[in-house]
Amino acid sequence: MSINIRVRLYATLNKYNPRGPNTREFTLEIEPGTNLLKLYEILGIPPEEIKQAFVNGRRVEADYILKDNDEIGIFPPIAGG
Amino acid sequence: MKYFVRVNMAKGTVEFEEVPEKYKNMGGRWLTSRLVYDEVPATCHPLGPNNKLIFAPGIVTGTSAPCSGRISVGGKSPLTGGIKEANAGTPAAQSLAKMGIKAIIVEGQPKEKDSFFILRLTKDGGSLEPAGDLVGIGLYEFAKRIKEKFGNVDFIATGPTGEKRMAMSGVCFNDKDGRPCRYAGRGGLGAVMGAKGLKAIIIDDTGAPGVNIADQDLFKTGQRKLAEALREHGVTKPGGTLNSYGTAALINVLNEAGGLPTRNFSAGRFEGASKIAGETIAEIIKQRKGSGTTGHPCHPGCIIQCGNVWARPDGSEHVSCLEYESVWALGANCGIDDIDAVAELVWICNDSGLDTIEAGVTLGVAMEAGLIKFGDAQGAINLLKECAKGTPLGHIIGNGAAFTGKAFGVTRVPTVKGQGMPAYEPRAVKGIGVTYMTSTMGADHTAGYTVAPEILAVGGKVDPLVAGGKAELSRNFQATTAFLDSTGYCLFISFAILDIPTGFEGMVETCNGVLGTKWTTDDVISMGKEILKIERAFNEAAGFTKAHDRPPEFMRYEPLPPHNNVYDVPDEELDKVFSEL
């Protein structure tokens, strides 16, 4: 029984959006037990391009195991003022 | 040879003094704060004859050190009633440094109220002359007239709102193309300039001798190490996220983290965030072609180049620059998601002489008060235009968020020490809240940018929703920043040098190279602490107590969606920042 997640890829990572760069976010069906690192692999994002990910508004590490209805935002290195 | 230029607006004199020994190694914020402490009576009226306005380029400004074109402006703030240092990136900083000018100290005020002068500075000296038809016009027209009268010079100016002594008024500097768009914005120093009858400083550095470097080899070694770090780090490198998307790339980050203050700090997420985010701004600039551009530097010699020039749909230039803080304040905080309307509000601020952060926080309070509705972009434009017109309503708005809140009986007023909070919500980013509450500057984000480890995973990783341990985090950032603010470096070098130790070493080496000092990286925090102590002492003498280092009350009891936290860092923890300095 697969689970559904919603993913947003920001800045330079948006080019890996499977629905194309003009959609803001996309949903994905994944196997239970999939962690973030595996998700990056599924999406074809080289890990060195990723700085961090937020799940439901909180930063998580790459070993985080995704749950049904999780909302994930993935970022390259970003900073400012 | 380095000079203080002492300008007496009562006598109309301009004197070049040799720099006293005790100030020899100071620059930027260290110098302005020290001079304010030494020369300004802490209880003076900020708009009266005894306040002073001090301009000081940084320690390495004017050299070939990368990203070093910055200047500090200091004085007693009419907004906070305490000490203020505001900071801008501008070629004007580099010109002053190359001319050997370590600080400009403006004192007194003309006997005749509302008489305005310009100060002209060249390598041969300085003189005051009547400002004539430069007064009472918008700063874009001002910049045009300056170019016609004086050619390619640098300028420092106060806008029409500064002439009218409004506490939202900042000090305006030219960018590398002569636009009136680089601001030492915070704290109302534009009003101090106006109260002193100083309309503008016109700087012509033709024939200037350049900055003397005590140890060329050490300087070059440090410069190389710092430049390498900047070119390596994903944030600061050419083609990196700051260069490609500008600071407004933060909109989506803070929105995702639930810490983007929305509709006068009533929520941490804005449904329109993606429409005003850095990625969208960059995309639209690309689509519209014409005069728009990303990757625009505020001064020559910057490696990072994070600014932009926004174009209208027809490709003609609208405004530079759409920064994170401006886009947040005049966008998300007002519930406005129309980026062209936000650009127009930025233009009005630039033209009127206003701090975009305070403007957005004030408009948010005005919306809370029901003057206009949240999301009413045209209403916001009309209201902001009242300031330069000098109507009674304009005077209320033009004196900032706390003043406007008081006038209309609003309790959700997001200020500390009278200064509007910037683009990070304390209830979702608790460490930046500690900086806001305790900084000598009032609610100020750059003063101790704990957002770096709390939200951006730069310089470490810290949980933004945890209340404990934030006093030490904020203190260390505040001290390091006080030092960096004195060097003339753009604060954004910290993203690289916090992660790359050789970059940090290189930064210190460039300072030692210029001055002939022997500072170590460990000295940075202790020197920063000395600067903070001076500022705290001034504020104490001005009447500040622990009670001023507190959040606005509503943040203690109103939970902020989506994380639904209140601001729960205890008072005792806030007091530790400076009690354990």
Whether the predicted pLDDT of A33 surpasses 90? yes
Average pLDDT, chain A: 95
Of A58, A59, A76, the CB nearest to B241: A76
Spatial CB neighbours of B341, under 8 Å, sequence gap ≥ 6: B377, B378, B380, B381
Spatial CB neighbours of B279, under 8 Å, sequence gap ≥ 6: A10, A11, A14, B245, B249, B252
Whether the predicted pLDDT of B581 surpasses 90? no
Longest dimension (CA), chain B: 61
Whether the predicted pLDDT of B359 surpasses 90? yes
Tell me which chain A residues have a C-beta less than 8 angstroms from the C-beta of B253. 10, 75, 78
Q: What is the pLDDT of residue B34?
A: 98
Q: Please check whether residue B523 is in contact with residue B505, taking contact to mean a CB–CB distance below 8 angstroms.
A: no
Of A11, A57, A73, the CB nearest to B249: A11
Q: What value does the mean pLDDT take over residues B126-148?
A: 98
**Distance between B258 CA and the closest CA of chain A, angstroms:** 6
Helix residue ranges, H only, B457-570: 470-487, 493-499, 501-515, 521-541, 554-557
Taking CB atoms and an 8 Å limit, are A78 and B250 in contact across chains?
yes
Residue B234 in contact with partner chain A when CB distance is under 8 A: yes
d(CA B24, CA B16): 15
Taking CB atoms and an 8 Å limit, are B250 and A12 in contact across chains?
no
Taking CB atoms and an 8 Å limit, are A80 and B563 in contact across chains?
no
Tokens representing residue B401 in the block: 């968020």
**Distance between B357 CA and the closest CA of chain A, angstroms:** 12
Closest CA to B78 of B397, B444, B400: B400
Query: Is residue A40 very low, low, confident or very high in pLDDT (cuts 50, 70, 90)?
Result: very high
Distances in whole angstroms, Cα of residue B58 to Cα of each of B64, B310, B417, B510: 13, 29, 27, 12
Global ipTM = 0.97
Of B241, B562, B563, the CB nearest to A78: B241
Domain layout of chain B by residue ranges: 3-203, 213-233+426-581, 246-424
Q: What value does the mean pLDDT take over residues B276-300?
A: 97
Of B325, B457, B458, the CB nearest to A81: B325
**Distance between B39 CA and the closest CA of chain A, angstroms:** 31
Half-sphere exposure of B316 (CA within 13 A, CB side): 1
Whether the predicted pLDDT of B337 surpasses 90? yes
**Strand partners of residue A73:** A8, A54
Closest CA to B89 of B343, B301, B231: B301
Does B172 sit behind a cis peptide bond, omega within 30 degrees of 0 on the bond before it?
no
Tell me which chain A residues have a C-beta less than 8 angstroms from the C-beta of B322. none
Taking CB atoms and an 8 Å limit, are A80 and B279 in contact across chains?
no
Whether the predicted pLDDT of B1 surpasses 80? no
What angle, 0 to 180 degrees and rounded to 10, lies between the N-to-C axes of helices B278-288 and B339-352? 90
Domain B246-424 has CATH 3.40.50.2000: no
Query: Is residue B580 very low, low, confident or very high in pLDDT (cuts 50, 70, 90)?
Result: confident
B234-267 pLDDT, tens digit per residue, is 999 999 999 999 999 999 999 999 999 999 999 9
Of B258, B324, B461, the CB nearest to A80: B324
Closest CA to B59 of B491, B514, B497, B505: B514
Tell me which chain A residues have a C-beta less than 8 angstroms from the C-beta of B446. 81
Q: What value does the mean pLDDT take over residues A55-60?
A: 98
Domains of chain A: 3-75 (3.10.20.30)
Closest CA to B135 of B107, B114, B150: B114
Query: Is residue A23 very low, low, confident or very high in pLDDT (cuts 50, 70, 90)?
Result: confident
Whether the predicted pLDDT of B20 surpasses 80? yes
Which candidate in A10, A56, A72 is best for mutational testing of the B interface (most B CBs within 10 A)?
A: A10
**Strand partners of residue B171:** B184
Query: Is residue A81 very low, low, confident or very high in pLDDT (cuts 50, 70, 90)?
Result: confident
Of B257, B325, B452, the CB nearest to A79: B452
Query: Is residue B279 very low, low, confident or very high in pLDDT (cuts 50, 70, 90)?
Result: very high
Taking CB atoms and an 8 Å limit, are B244 and A54 in contact across chains?
no
Q: What value does the mean pLDDT take over residues B411-423?
A: 98
For domain B3-203, which CATH number applies: 3.60.9.10, 3.40.50.1820, 3.50.50.60, 2.160.10.10? 3.60.9.10
Tokens representing residue B258 in the block: 């639930």
Interface size A-B, in CB pairs within 8 Å, comes to 86
**Distance between A9 CA and the closest CA of chain B, angstroms:** 10
Of B279, B446, B465, the CB nearest to A11: B279
Whether the predicted pLDDT of B452 surpasses 80? yes
The residues of A whose Cβ lies within 8 A of any Cβ of B are: 8, 10-12, 14, 24, 51-52, 54, 57-59, 73, 75-81
Residue B327 belongs to what H/E stretch?
Answer: helix B324-330
Q: B213-233+426-581: which CATH topology?
A: 1.10.599
DSSP B10-60: TTTEEEEEEPPGGGTT--HHHHHHHHHHHHS-TTS-TTSTT-EEEEEE-TT
Whether the predicted pLDDT of A46 surpasses 90? yes
The backbone region for B77, taken as left when phi is positive above 0, alpha when psi lies in -120 to 50, beta otherwise, is beta
Whether the predicted pLDDT of A24 surpasses 90? no
- Chain A residue with CA closest to B246: the answer is A80
